[in-house]
Amino acid sequence: MLNKLNKQPEDKILQLMQWYKDDTRDNKIDLGVGVYKDATGLTPVMRAVKNAEQRLWAEETTKTYTALAGDAGFHKVMADLVLAESVPRNRVAAAATPGGTGAIHMVLELAKMANPDVTVWLSAPTWPNHPSIVRHLGMKMTEYRYFDEATLAVDFDGMMADLDKVKAGDLVLLHGCCHNPTGANLNLTQWDKVADKLLEKGAVPFVDIAYQGFGDGLDEDAAAVRLLAARMPEMLIAASCSKNFGIYRERTGIVLAICPDAETQPVTQGNLAFLNRQNFSFPPDHGARLVTIILSDPELRAEWMAELEDVRLGMLALRQQLADELQRLSGSDRFGFIAQHRGMFSRMGATPEQVAALREKHGVYMVGDSRINIAGLNRKTVPVLAKALIDVGV
Ligand code: LMR
């Protein structure tokens, strides 16, 4: 049986992690996988998380199962964090999942159960795991234009022209903030136009929000998802706590399903619990509980918010430094986009050959499409990267 299996294609991002590990040069720079690193290159456990863990250790009296859809307290704090007051809670179904990827998988499965023929629209480009999961689930998939390779900004006209072809009931996957891999994002006026278009077409938005707090701030980064939640009859959301709580390996994510009315909510909730049961029974609880403790306690919440804000401002400062450095070296403004982009990533507009040269000649590791993880930089490596980019002709 097992000899009938085909070799799977390498995951480009995870492959890059391995290449970086295997490189013996001291001055190598890892701008690959989307993991936050501080100025010393470490991915620290946030102080608020450590404090919540201490509290959990002292107070937790059992490790028995939670509910199939996860703990109701986690649903509440996450619905508040992502949706705020945008939609009444009796329209929101929720299920904890193993990470944001688990949530994406679950949303797609739910959509497929509701409509086996559903077409999923993805931004071009998008996180490579999106099309991979859609394909794995055997669902129909198509793309809408999103990124202008020439300006390295959103191609909004192209996006709207493509969304005009969306059919009633289609699922349109949108990045809630901090677009991965491009770093280019819609403004709120544009989001409003997207909402108009989806409403006109009767399509369902599916928002993947994995970087809330990494762009313009916790509320600012949720403004788009809240705008859609307030306007759309139905919406599916996959949210991740991996990055903004720094709890990557705890696998903490959630599906939030906004139902057309309160009557549809219990059946949707039941289907989410059913899907969890079929896939893995109960979702992981440790990370979800830490998030619940942090968000429910004013002191821990304030500590977490301050820490997250430091992370965000640190990345913004690195963006500005890189843009300034490249302007100085190139004598042109063409790198201004780096300071305009938001979140962990920016696409640099380098060719695959230039990306390979950066890796081979300079020990700079970025994804093949020239996506860099801004948090992989520090004040000392920014000038090194800038010089290397100019050297390979970007
Ligand atoms: C990324 O895009 O680098 C992250 O979301 C990590 C991953 O799993 O790919």
Q: In what order do the strands lie in the sheet containing 140-145? A: 92-97, 253-258, 235-240, 204-209, 171-175, 119-124, 140-145
**Strands 92-97 and 140-145, bridge-based pairing:** unpaired
Which pTM value belongs to this model?
0.97
The residue annotated as part of the active site, out of 155, 170, 208, 221, is: 208
Question: How close is the Cα of 180 to the center of ligand 1, in Å?
Answer: 9
Query: Is the CB–ligand 1 distance for residue 33 below 6 Å?
Result: yes
Query: Is the CB–ligand 1 distance for residue 107 below 6 Å?
Result: no
Whether 210 sits among the annotated catalytic residues: the reply is yes
Q: Which atom of ligand 1 is nearest to the CA of 14?
A: 9
Query: Using an 8 Å Cβ cutoff, are 201 and 169 in contact?
Result: no
* CA gap 281, 222 in Å, rounded: 30
Name the residue of 11, 15, 33 to mutate for ligand 1: max ligand atoms within 8 A of Cβ.
33
| CATH code linked to domain 65-296 | 3.40.640.10
Q: What letter represents residue 108's amino acid?
A: L
Question: How close is the Cα of 221 to the center of ligand 1, in Å?
Answer: 19
Name the residue of 101, 104, 127 to mutate for ligand 1: max ligand atoms within 8 A of Cβ.
127
Query: Is the CB–ligand 1 distance for residue 100 below 6 Å?
Result: no
Looking at the chain, the domain(s) classified CATH 3.90.1150.10 span: 10-45+301-391
pLDDT reported for residue 321? 98
pLDDT reported for residue 225? 98
Name the residue of 30, 43, 129, 251 to mutate for ligand 1: max ligand atoms within 8 A of Cβ.
129
* CA gap 319, 376 in Å, rounded: 11
pLDDT reported for residue 335? 96
Query: Using an 8 Å Cβ cutoff, are 308 and 246 in contact?
Result: no
What residues does 204 pair with on adjacent strands? 171
pLDDT reported for residue 242? 98
Q: Which atom of ligand 1 is nearest to the CA of 210?
A: 5
Statement: 10-45+301-391 belongs to CATH 3.90.1150.10: yes
pLDDT reported for residue 38? 92
Structure-token pair, residue 218: 């916790």
Query: Is the CB–ligand 1 distance for residue 68 below 6 Å?
Result: no
pLDDT reported for residue 245? 98
203 to 108, 114, 164, 234: CA distances (angstroms): 15, 14, 11, 9
pLDDT reported for residue 175? 98
Question: How close is the Cα of 14 to the center of ligand 1, in Å?
Answer: 8
Protein residue with least CA distance to atom 2, ligand 1? 34
Protein residue with least CA distance to atom 5, ligand 1? 34
95 to 142, 224, 236, 245, 381: CA distances (angstroms): 27, 21, 12, 18, 41
Query: Is the CB–ligand 1 distance for residue 180 below 6 Å?
Result: yes
pLDDT reported for residue 195? 98
pLDDT reported for residue 322? 98
Name the residue of 11, 12, 13, 16 to mutate for ligand 1: max ligand atoms within 8 A of Cβ.
13
Looking at the chain, the domain(s) classified CATH 3.40.640.10 span: 65-296
pLDDT reported for residue 384? 97
Question: How close is the Cα of 373 to the center of ligand 1, in Å?
Answer: 10
Query: Is the CB–ligand 1 distance for residue 13 below 6 Å?
Result: yes
Query: Using an 8 Å Cβ cutoff, are 367 and 16 in contact?
Result: yes
The residue annotated as part of the active site, out of 69, 94, 210, 239, is: 210
Beta carbons within 8 Å of 201's beta carbon, 6+ residues apart? 163, 164, 166, 167, 168, 170
Question: How close is the Cα of 127 to the center of ligand 1, in Å?
Answer: 8
Query: Is the CB–ligand 1 distance for residue 127 below 6 Å?
Result: yes
Q: pLDDT 10s digit of each residue in the chain, 394 long?
A: 999 999 999 888 999 999 999 999 999 999 999 999 998 889 999 999 999 999 999 999 999 999 999 999 999 999 999 999 999 999 999 999 999 999 999 999 999 999 999 999 999 999 999 999 999 999 999 999 999 999 999 999 999 999 999 999 999 999 999 999 999 999 999 999 999 999 999 999 999 999 999 999 999 999 999 999 999 999 999 999 999 999 999 999 999 999 999 999 999 999 999 999 999 999 999 999 999 999 999 999 999 999 999 999 999 999 999 999 999 999 999 999 999 999 999 999 999 999 999 999 999 999 999 999 999 999 999 999 999 999 999 9
Q: Which atom of ligand 1 is nearest to the CA of 34?
A: 3
317 CB neighbour count, 10 Å cutoff: 13
Query: Using an 8 Å Cβ cutoff, are 255 and 97 in contact?
Result: yes
* CA gap 219, 235 in Å, rounded: 19
Query: Using an 8 Å Cβ cutoff, are 336 and 184 in contact?
Result: no
Whether 127 sits among the annotated catalytic residues: the reply is yes
Query: Is the CB–ligand 1 distance for residue 374 below 6 Å?
Result: no
What residues does 172 pair with on adjacent strands? 121, 205
**Residue whose tokens read 């100019």:** 390
